[in-house]
Amino acid sequence: MPKVAIYPGSFDPVTNGHIDIVERGLKLFDKLIVSILYNPSKDYLFTLEERVEMLKDSMKKMKNIEIDSFDGLLVDYAASRKAQAILRGLRAMSDFEYEFQMALMNRRLNREVQTVFLMTGLRWIFTSSSIIKEAVQFGGNIEGMVPPLAQKKLMEKFGIAPGPGQSGKN
Ligand code: ADP
């Protein structure tokens, strides 16, 4: 049976930290389903369609990847997709408590689905979708922190014209 993992998240937007986890996850699993959790009560900067588009564009050269979205319980979604694992990334200690709680809850809900954690690459330890949104909002240069389409769309959202070294082009 192929080893399939779900990599769930908000991806609002996808960052190079996410891409790093995906690239390394692909070395462990036969297939990764990168899936956007759609929570109607949460405020996102980008629509679900925009987030799907940015994820697809950033992973278009990768094999054994599928981009999807889901709502409801993650373990139910994993079972419906015949995935044996949930992949998550860990940055600092601050991620740990929440991730630990969630992994234990998911295990309680379905013991067949294992949560696998990958440590962030050192380069991406301070990279998060929310900090990137804050930086770009005030004109900060986020080149190299997000894939090109995400950079372009972030700058458009905040009405920022590309500056030197900030092309936002693919
Ligand atoms: P969520 O809202 O579920 O935290 P995110 O899109 O922020 O969704 O993140 C999805 C997953 O990717 C989480 O497991 C998160 O810890 C991980 N992640 C986010 N940024 C990084 C990064 N820079 N390095 C490693 N893992 C990361």
Task: Enumerate domains of the chain plus CATH numbers.
Answer: 4-125 (3.40.50.620)
- Find the mean pLDDT for residues 102-125: 96
d(CA 137, CA 118) in angstroms, rounded, equals 30
* 164 vs 15 pLDDT, higher one: 15
**pLDDT tens across 39-55, in order?**
888 999 999 999 999 99
108 contact partners, CB below 8 Å, separation of at least 6? none
Site of tokens 């998060």: 128
141 contact partners, CB below 8 Å, separation of at least 6? 163, 165, 166
d(CA 49, CA 51) in angstroms, rounded, equals 5
Pairing outcome for strands 65-70 and 31-37: parallel
At residue 22, what are phi and psi to the nearest 5 degrees?
-65, -45
27 noted as active-site residue? no
How many angstroms is it from 9 CA to the middle of ligand 1? 6
β-bridge mates for residue 89, sequence order: 118
- Asked if pLDDT for residue 104 goes beyond 80, the answer is yes
129 noted as active-site residue? yes
Which ligand 1 atom sits closest to the C-alpha of 87?
Answer: 14
DSSP helix/strand/coil, 137 = helix
How many angstroms is it from 137 CA to the middle of ligand 1? 20
Would you state the structure tokens that stand for residue 57, as one six-digit string?
């564009």
How many angstroms is it from 103 CA to the middle of ligand 1? 14
* Confidence (pTM): 0.93
pLDDT at 170: 42
pLDDT at 22: 98
**pLDDT tens across 50-81, in order?**
999 999 999 999 999 999 999 999 999 999 99
The DSSP symbol for 158 reads T
